[in-house]
Structure 1
């Protein structure tokens, strides 16, 4: 059913020009209101006041020393929940459910609201309801906490050494991530997922084949990071991440990572379709996606800061299908087009992508969908399986 919804998303998004225009108009109106509110004395201070503490229990002691006395603390700014605070249409739908009894219509309305408006979040990208939106969009059922604890209590998995070799580098230069997520929580979650993948593997054989799912591959730590950052508990993050790597992109974590390599070839092919001159120029310089887009494909662009923009991009990808990450990468290349053409060595430009702008990338991606032939779009849907 989810594959069918992804195919339907091609039809929906390919006829969304009017929606994009409507969305931009509403955002401009909202921007005007924001400008008016910003003129009020103290508005900027209040907008910066709200900061979420870490959700992980082992972070509490580290923050205790830095917590100011109660009489010196700044009041937190509410972001859409609570008495007297107006909630967005998206939050209302998520909290109250659809007005009709048809769950398919409710899901379609929810996805439309994700596309036409952004999830309410503070400056750090934190939202009180985003994690529940992801659980609904990916159809991930609640998980008993005891099941997660049982995996934790099993101790070190066979992949533990590989995990420890990567976790300390996870988004190492991102202060938002480092402030909210501890390395210990990242290790626990990845180790628990490794145990689940270990248990699901077939009986031991004399020699494993390349089609076997690895318990851990390099890059899973970065793919896991936004789930931990957005979640309100490790159990929620575990349920989402485990579902994602086993159902949405199992080809990304197989030993040969064949799904990632298919995705890289699709980046080249989609670029040839939507921007043939740019593709020809890059190919003439020997610059294929294999050389610059591997992290972006594997991590759904989580490797490119800032993290709050990654979360907004993931809202869109979880609503209409993670396969659209291929076109999000193409959209980033198109936005870099002038710099690439002006550079005699585009490999220097493509070593690191510019900061993510989720709003612009999503709008461009929706327009690109219309140019992708159905057979190529079908390959995008299945490439990570």
Structure 2
């Protein structure tokens, strides 16, 4: 696929490249590496949809006028959104020209290239090329947001990158009106602990909305499970065995496992509440958050929410393997202390690093993961370990340090992850792509 051409503002054909030009060229090279790696490896593990969706700005509206309604209707959800609302209310009409300026929250009135591409949609119907351009812009420029990490268009960016079609609000309400799911008790036991020490999350997202969304997803997962086949009673079974004079069939035994698999632990596992939290925080409605979260746990990481969490355990082994390849000295030291990823990285793998504050940095990191693949979260965890390298090597008890990771710095972690992706062998990268399926 031909990459869109850009003019980078060089003084002339013989002018030496400036540091800014070199940084830009490195970002282009990183974008090409990530895109080509994902395309080569994903083809062996996943199936791409035959027709990518058009850019749509409102997943809760099933009509064709969703983009227009999204621009006309901006429903506030909390005080953390107040500055953004004032910005929207005072913004000039589309026909007026006004110099760009910054508000107190740091969000400019002038559209960024990323927002413009997202709002205007594909040019001349070139959806695939526009998606590649969108991914490049995510890598090269940060999503405009205020100090709380709130952006008026981030949620739509996620919907486009994950190729999620619009969802009718009535479908979500129908799940809510069904009442408590089989996992309702477990959900209620977890939700009050969700990002309990994060004031930004607590101010914007209520526990009630978190319960509703998780309960609705639990109903969807419950409905999608195959129904167990009924077995004859013991007396009837003995009569049948005597009639045919044969021992019980071994093929009947797995039905016991089928019955036990349809349990509340299979439709909700501890940790889903934290994985769900950033979706609710960034969304402008519960329907948007539900569409994203349900798609994510059923298509991107179904292995993370199965009862045995086999996808998470595969991810932990991959953290150890990747660390051993890109930073062998640090890996050997941690292994000598008995510190394998299963002891310290389980929450980071399961929640895509959402367990590590601050929340605005988590959202920025997720922009990158949704653009180039959630499997890169494995390398994001390795990148955090490398940034702690000197501290870990100097500590006689690295387990104390690894009890909680330092605050996220999404920009630095993304830059390091891009470099690490080039060092990982192709076969190991393919395992990363498929480990959560």
Does TM-score exceed 0.5, indicating one fold? Answer: yes
**In structure 2, what is the Cα distance between the partners aligned to 1:182 and 1:287?**
37
Match of 2:220 among 170, 187, 196: 196
1:220–1:299 Cα contact (<8 Å) kept: yes
1:19–1:116 Cα contact (<8 Å) kept: no
Residue 207 (structure 1) shift: 2.8
Corresponding residue for residue 302 of structure 2: 250
**In structure 1, what is the Cα distance between the partners aligned to 2:139 and 2:366?**
11
**In structure 2, what is the Cα distance between the partners aligned to 1:118 and 1:74?**
19
**In structure 2, what is the Cα distance between the partners aligned to 1:239 and 1:345?**
43
**In structure 1, what is the Cα distance between the partners aligned to 2:295 and 2:435?**
17
2:76–2:85 Cα contact (<8 Å) kept: no
**In structure 1, what is the Cα distance between the partners aligned to 2:126 and 2:424?**
31
Corresponding residue for residue 121 of structure 1: 145
Residue 98 (structure 1) shift: 3.0
Are residues 1:273 and 2:325 paired?
yes
1:79–1:120 Cα contact (<8 Å) kept: no
Match of 1:142 among 152, 159, 166: 166
Corresponding residue for residue 21 of structure 1: 23
- Structure 1: any 5+ residue segments left out of the alignment? 6-17, 26-52, 64-72
Structure whose CA Rg is larger: 2
Corresponding residue for residue 178 of structure 1: 202
Larger mean CA deviation between 213-222 and 233-242 belongs to 213-222
**In structure 2, what is the Cα distance between the partners aligned to 1:78 and 1:371?**
44
- Alpha-carbon spacing, 1:174–1:274, altered in 2? closer, same or farther (3 Å): same
**In structure 2, what is the Cα distance between the partners aligned to 1:237 and 1:20?**
38
Corresponding residue for residue 232 of structure 2: none
**In structure 2, what is the Cα distance between the partners aligned to 1:218 and 1:331?**
26
Corresponding residue for residue 289 of structure 1: 341
Summarize the alignment of residues 1-385 of structure 1 with structure 2, pairs less than 5 Å apart.
21-22=23-24, 78=87, 82-83=91-92, 84=98, 85-204=109-228, 206-208=255-257, 214-385=266-437
Residue 208 (structure 1) shift: 3.6
- Structure 2: any 5+ residue segments left out of the alignment? 2-19, 28-73, 93-97, 99-108, 230-254
Residue 78 (structure 1) shift: 3.2
Residue 100 (structure 1) shift: 4.1
**In structure 2, what is the Cα distance between the partners aligned to 1:86 and 1:251?**
42
Residue 214 (structure 1) shift: 1.2
1:296–1:302 Cα contact (<8 Å) kept: yes
Residue 244 (structure 1) shift: 0.1
Residue 76 (structure 1) shift: 6.3
**In structure 2, what is the Cα distance between the partners aligned to 1:80 and 1:377?**
47
Runs of 4+ in structure 1 displaced over 3 angstroms? 53-56, 73-82, 208-213
| Count of residues paired in the alignment | 330
CA RMSD of aligned residues (A): 2.7
